[in-house]
Amino acid sequence: MIDYYVATFYSTNYALKCEKILKQSFINVKLIPVPRQVSSNCGLAARMDGEALKAFRGLCQEGSIEAENLYSVVKDGKKLIFTPLSRE
């Protein structure tokens, strides 16, 4: 069972842009520190549920936002397992 999804960005500025655009479309995402498992960046990533992911992908295709990578996250006890997803 997938618990949630995470998107990473080229930079914090892209993350902030994405957050603002999604909020304007009433799509719920939460910016979080980039999980160490997917990047050594000190920036921000977006955490979202399955429904938000659909809208997120739509906006990526439209070109209004840009993500670097998308992951699904599964909780396994204390561990989080990140699996890369296609952006489309």
Partner 1 sequence: MVIYMDNAATSYPKPEEVVAAMNYFFNEIGGNPGRSGHRLSLRSGEVVYDTRDALAQLFNIEDPLQIVFTLNATMAINMALSGLLKPGDHVITSTLEHNSTARPLRYLEGTGVELTRIECPAPNFQLDLDQLEQSICKNTRLISILHGSNVVGTVFPLEEVGKIARKHGIYLMVDAAQTAGAYPIDVQKAGIHLLAFTGHKGLFGPQGTGGLYVNPELKLDSLYRGGTGSRSEEDRQPEFMPDSLESGTPNAMGLAGLGAGVKYILREGLPKIREKEIELTNHLIKGLNSIDGVIIIGEEKAENRMPLVSFVMEGVTPSMVGEFLDERYDIMTRVGLHCSPWAHQSMGTFPEGTVRISLSYLNTPSQLDTLLQALYELSREEVRL
Interface positions with partner 1 (CB under 8 A): 10-14, 16-17, 19-20, 31-34, 40-44
Cβ 41 to partner 1, closest distance in Å?
Answer: 6
What are the C-alpha distances in Å from 56 to residues 64, 66, 68?
10, 10, 13
Q: Which is nearer to partner 1, 19 or 52 (CB)?
A: 19
Of 46, 42, 40, the closest CA to residue 59 belongs to 46
Which lies closer to partner 1 via its Cβ, residue 12 or residue 72? 12
List beta partners, residue 30: 47
Residue 57 Cβ, how far from partner 1 at the closest point, in Å?
Answer: 20
